[in-house]
Amino acid sequence: MPTVHELAFVRSGDKGDISNVVVLARDAEAFDTLERGLRPAAISAFLGELVTGPVVVHTLPKLHAFNVVLRGALGGGATTTLRFDETGKSMCAILSRMQVTSDHR
């Protein structure tokens, strides 16, 4: 099973306690694989206690891109979190280790 890292370029940013991970499929085939496997339930399960809120995935077919929005993702948000990575810039790298399978529903 491929990882997000093998299929896509990624980058994350923050607003308050919300982290968003931009997932850019490297090609059309990778986009198809990600479209089947990059599901909120699978992402929630993978990120476990790191993210406490719901996960939403927005799909942009023309850009072969996904915007993964994670609520309750930064320990309260940049100004109050105890994490070193206050703005969750590494969230993209953490998510990119997730294996993508089309079995998740």
Partner 1 sequence: MAGNCRIGAGSGYWGDMIDPAVELIEHGDVRYVCFDLLAELTVALLTRAKMRDPGKGHIPDVETIIRQALPSARRNEVGLVTNGGGANPAAAALAAARVACDAGLSDTRIGVIDGDDLTDRVAEIRATGWKFTHLESGEEDIDRIADRVVAVSAYTGSDAVIEALDGDAHVVIGGRLADSALYCGPLMRHFGWSFDGDDWERIGAALTVGHVLECAGIASGGMSSQWRLSKDPWRLGFPFAEVSEDGSAVVSKVAGTGGVINQWTIKEHLLYEVHDPFNYLLPDGVVDMSAVEVTELGADTVRLTGMSGRARPDTLKVQIGYEDGYIAEGRTMFPWPDALEKADFCEQLVRERIGYLGVTPTELRFDRVGWDALAGPIAPKPAAGLQPNEVELRMVAKCRTRAEGEIARRAMLLPATAGPVGTAFGAPLPLRKVVALWPTLVPRDLVPQRVLVDTAKEIVDAHGA
Residues near partner 1, by CB under 8 A: 9-11, 13-18, 20, 22, 24, 46-50, 56, 58, 60, 62-63, 65, 67, 69, 71, 76-80, 82-85, 89-90, 93-94
- Residue whose CB is less far from partner 1, 87 or 102: 87
Residue 65 near residue 22 (C-beta atoms within 8 A): yes
Residue 6 near residue 92 (C-beta atoms within 8 A): no
Residue appearing with tokens 């931009």: 22
Residue appearing with tokens 């982290």: 19
- Residue whose CB is less far from partner 1, 32 or 46: 46
- Name the minimum Å distance from CB 49 to partner 1: 4
- Residue whose CB is less far from partner 1, 37 or 88: 88
- Name the minimum Å distance from CB 66 to partner 1: 9
Distance of CA 70 to the CA centre of its chain: 7
d(CA 36, CA 29): 11
- Residue whose CB is less far from partner 1, 1 or 60: 60
Residue 4 near residue 23 (C-beta atoms within 8 A): yes
